[in-house]
Amino acid sequence: MLTKDRVVSEKFSTHAPEFAHSVAAGHCVYRGSIVAVCEDGTIVPAGSRNTTSPLVAAIGIARQGSDNREGSSSPSPIWVQKGCYALPFDHMPSWAAIGQDVYAIDDETVSLSDHDMSDHAPEQTDAADATTHNVASSAKRLRAGTLAGIEAGHAFVLIS
């Protein structure tokens, strides 16, 4: 997870419309964060849990930061950009994955997998028959965009 602002490399492309959003109460969004919009229109860092309004979609990269960890409403709305960005992957993709959906793990990192394996509950053993059961299924990650290309060791994600 990001702990400060960052600059994200961008491939210039036709931009989609940008919208301003307030940061949800109890959250901090850093410039360069991958952000998700909640059902109430507020934004949070992608990968956030325990939001007051359900997450709807990963919508872009924050153009500036805003800290609303202590407030009930964001001091001022921030703009969310769409475009083509070099984002770190959990596992570097190959050209064979071009065009595949990309999912936000958190506000910094993306993956080709839509399942969050960290949400698996520990396995439990049934003492009666000594078998092991996985008692939870993995959570779905939010789609962030598509893999657009690879250049100089960086994978670019098109967020539209």
Spans of all domains in the chain = 10-82, 85-159
- How many percent of the chain have pLDDT more than 90? 68
- What pLDDT is attached to residue 14? 64
Calpha distance 99→111 (Å, rounded):
13
Better-predicted residue by pLDDT, 133 or 29: 29
pTM, two decimal places: 0.79
How buried is 30 (Cβ within 10 angstroms: 0-12 exposed, 13-18 middle, 19+ buried)?
A: buried
Percent of the chain, pLDDT > 70?
A: 82
- Which of 17-31, 35-49, 122-136 is least confident? 122-136
- What are 28's two structure tokens? 């901090």
Q: What is the pLDDT of residues 50-88, one digit of tens each?
A: 898 999 999 999 999 999 998 866 578 999 999 999 999
> In whole numbers, what is the pLDDT of the chain averaged over residues?
85
Which residues are within 8 A (CB) of 148 and not within 5 positions of it... i.e. 6 or more apart? Answer: 11, 84, 98, 156, 157, 158
The better pLDDT of the pair 17, 40 is held by 40
